[in-house]
Chains A and B, each alone.
Chain A
Amino acid sequence: MLRAQAGDRGAFAVLFERYEKPIYNFLRRLGMIPAEAEEGTQEVFLKLWGRRAQYKPGGPFRVYLYRIARNHRIGQLRRPPMDSRRWLASRQGQGAVADPAEAVSLGELGGKVHDLLGELPEGIREPFILRWMQQLPHAEVARITGLTARQAEDRAAAGFERLASRLRPAAGRKA
């Protein structure tokens, strides 16, 4: 990042190569449709480049990057109007798999997990996704989400509990 900060586009390309997929998947799992997630990823990296002068080394770079992605997501949530594509997607339930082709490609289990993730409250979903899907340590999850380490641990655990309880076989599921 320090090289990119100095204006090295090659270094920036390496950063993009490394974090493009994680950021895209992070935005997707937060409920964005593919086109939005792609646009979001583009915004995140262009913002990273545009404001590279403001980057201060001292913490892990990915925390900085995920914070930008998270801020983008929050900005997107605040945007009131919704175009017909997104509305069509939302017709089948919030965060549900809207595209039948996508549902087929995800398979039954994938589709179910997708829906379950969509049902998690926002405050739990983020730490859970960062911890369980992006495999970030609790300390980094806390810094990205602005929580204390303990809060991040508890929320990721709560997300895990909710998902696990829904995935248990019917006989073993708690009442």
Chain B
Amino acid sequence: MTDACRRFRLALADGPLSDPHPTTCGACRQALEDAVRVRAALAALGEESPSPVLRRRVMEGVRHERASSWPRLLWLVPAAAAAALLLFFLVPGSGKAPPRSPGPAVPGPAPDVAVEATGPAPASPVPAVPLPSLDLPPIPAPVPTPAPQEPELVEGPHPPEPSGSEPPLRPSPPAETPVEPARTPEGPAFPPSPSLLASFEGTALASLTLGEPLQGPPGGLGSLAGRVVLIQFWNPDCAASVAQVPALAALDRRTKGQPCRLLAVFVGPGCARERVLEICEAGGLQCSVLAGGQIPGAALGWPASIVYGPAGQELFRGCLEEAAKVAEKAAQDAPRIWTGSTPYERLQGLARQIEKGFNPGQAAQALRRRLRATDPLERGEAARLLEALELHAAARREQAEALKTMDPDGALAALKELASDFSGDEIGTRLSAEARRQAADPALRAFRKALAEVDDLQRRLEALPSCKIHKQRGERRAQVACEGCRSLNEEVLAGLRKALKDLARRAKGTPAGDRARRLADSW
């Protein structure tokens, strides 16, 4: 092969060539024809797209990821060095170069890019729930407690900052709105929120920075739009705060189904998450509990409450009893706003249609038109519904994908996660009901049973003794040639076919049943 031939063939992968070389070289002409054929074949594979929820999962993981763990692990470096030195001197022959990390590639020079080793397990994608220290300068520091598990309760309500202004125990004038719009360092709970934030710009609610959820759905500002919001500040080390938890739980139950959202923001950077959750469980508190956050405005001691109106304006800040009255009254008034004026009636109708399987594309289009409305309340509600619609559609796709990959548990988990995202909302109630229905669905139970049967048969295959093939990789087990394995394969296949046919019969008409039937037929 000449240099010209080699150059030509190396460039074949890059697409159509203008090189005249093949006109004079028969072998390269043949290679060109082959390349056209190979490219056409590869094009037939097409480019696949991952499911749209992947982006959400990754960005959520990124959002919840702690800062680099290097500073915390720096102490390991000298320790590892010392251990390596010790090993070097103690273990004979350990000074030799370590074997090359195994992999499919043949040896070659290591590239000069910085790449992590292949050995260690990847960083866990499960986001740890951070407990950020609350960025609320006017709030007094929590009572120091030596043992967070058994904190000493402090008598009476905690006093506010001595030098700060007293918390106003009367309705705040709605005109006093902070200038800073909601711009959290973590970003809003869900990406497509700029329009939503714009609709609340300038209101008191917009300058609220929500902390990380310890319990309940994160919600984000989108879930607060157009609702009466009561935020309770409390501290698990404060006796008065803890004493109010049952009252909070009762208020949460009373306001269920009303356009009122209760948030409990716990402020105690030294407290353990478990302690907070224990208190919530003991008091029956099921609303969202957030760790930290940022509330602009005057100083607050704990326990203290702030009530925001459906238009995002601050209605009250002070004690819980008064706040509950204000919130309940505002929530009673809110339905009149929602159903009395035509835009809200239309939007609520639209929401109901979306839930009933209304054409999502058409609904999204209609909602996007509402985003251009002049009324900020209408814009906010449209944005909230649009956000819900997008999440709903994404979760549906995720669920369909999970069912397609024969993972009914994954599908159910996706549905439950979605239901918890919208808990307390009409969509959430419907989704919870659907999740319960799916959990009890006999077809899906049968599907799970069939999968368990497959697992069992697979375990039997792996447990077959005295066969070297079993020490090989799992994929090869299906292609073993030894007599024992072949007969077991037949047995496994027959069992599977039977189980799948049975499943297809019982789950007829469902995606799981269709898939089982196709698989059984294909064997």
Contact = CB atoms under 8 A, between A and B. Distances in A.
Given A87-B454, A167-B41, A160 B48 contact: no
Given A49-B62, A164-B34, A132 B451 contact: no
Interface string B39-67: 11110111111110011011101110100
Contacts of A85: 405-407
Interface in A57-100: 58-59, 63-64, 67-68, 70-72, 74-75, 77-78, 80-88, 90-94, 99-100
Contact of B42 (A50, A55, A113): A113
Of the four ranges (under 10, 10 to 19, 20 to 34, 35 or more), the interface on chain A belongs to: 35 or more
A119 interface: no
Size bracket of the B interface? 35 or more
Given A21-B49, A87-B454, A71 B519 contact: no
Contacts, number: 229
B50 A54 contact: no
Contacts of A107: 44
A70 B68 CA distance: 23
A135 B14 contact: yes
Contacts of B455: 83-84
A2 interface: no
Given A9-B62, A34-B48, A46-B65, A160 B34 contact: yes
A13 B58 CA distance: 9
B414 to A, nearest CB: 12
A147 B108 CA distance: 4
Contacts of A138: 10
A120 B479 CA distance: 17
Nearest to B15: A135
Nearest to A51: B116
A43 B59 contact: no
A148 B41 contact: no
Contacts of B68: 50, 52-53
Contact of A126 (B38, B44, B45, B105): B105
Nearest to A142: B108
A16 B111 contact: no
B12 A160 contact: yes
Given A50-B123, A146-B105, A146-B111, A135 B13 contact: yes
Contact of B114 (A55, A87, A113, A122): A55
Nearest to B126: A46
Contact of A168 (B37, B406, B521): B37
Nearest to B66: A50
B105 A59 contact: no
| Chain A CB within 10 A, most for which of B113, B191, B493, B523 | B113
A89 to B, nearest CB: 9
Of B109, B122, B454, B521, the most chain A CB neighbours within 10 A belong to B122
Nearest to A81: B474
A20 B125 contact: no
Interface in A124-162: 126, 131-133, 135, 138, 142-148, 151, 153, 156-157, 160
A54 B114 contact: yes
B458 A87 contact: yes
B38 A163 contact: yes
A160 B112 CA distance: 28
Contact of A21 (B14, B47, B519): B47
A43 B122 contact: yes
B57 to A, nearest CB: 6
Given A47-B116, A160-B13, A123 B46 contact: no
B254 interface: no
B38 A132 contact: yes
A101 to B, nearest CB: 7
A74 B104 contact: yes
A121 B210 CA distance: 52
B522 A148 contact: no
A94 B112 contact: no
Contacts of B62: 9, 12, 45-46, 49
Contacts of B102: 74, 78
A12 B407 CA distance: 30
Given A25-B47, A163-B41, A164-B35, A20 B116 contact: no
Interface in A8-58: 9, 12-13, 16-17, 20-21, 24-25, 28-29, 33-35, 37-38, 41-43, 45-47, 49-56, 58
Q: Which 10 A-B pairs have the closest CB atoms?
A: A164-B34, A82-B474, A122-B104, A143-B111, A50-B123, A84-B454, A110-B44, A109-B44, A56-B114, A147-B108
9 contacts: A47-B116, A50-B123, A88-B454, A91-B478, A94-B476, A106-B46, A132-B13, A132-B38, A160-B35
Given A16-B58, A45-B58, A67-B111, 14 more contacts: A9-B62, A20-B50, A49-B61, A51-B123, A52-B68, A94-B476, A94-B479, A100-B521, A142-B108, A146-B103, A146-B107, A146-B108, A164-B37, A167-B41
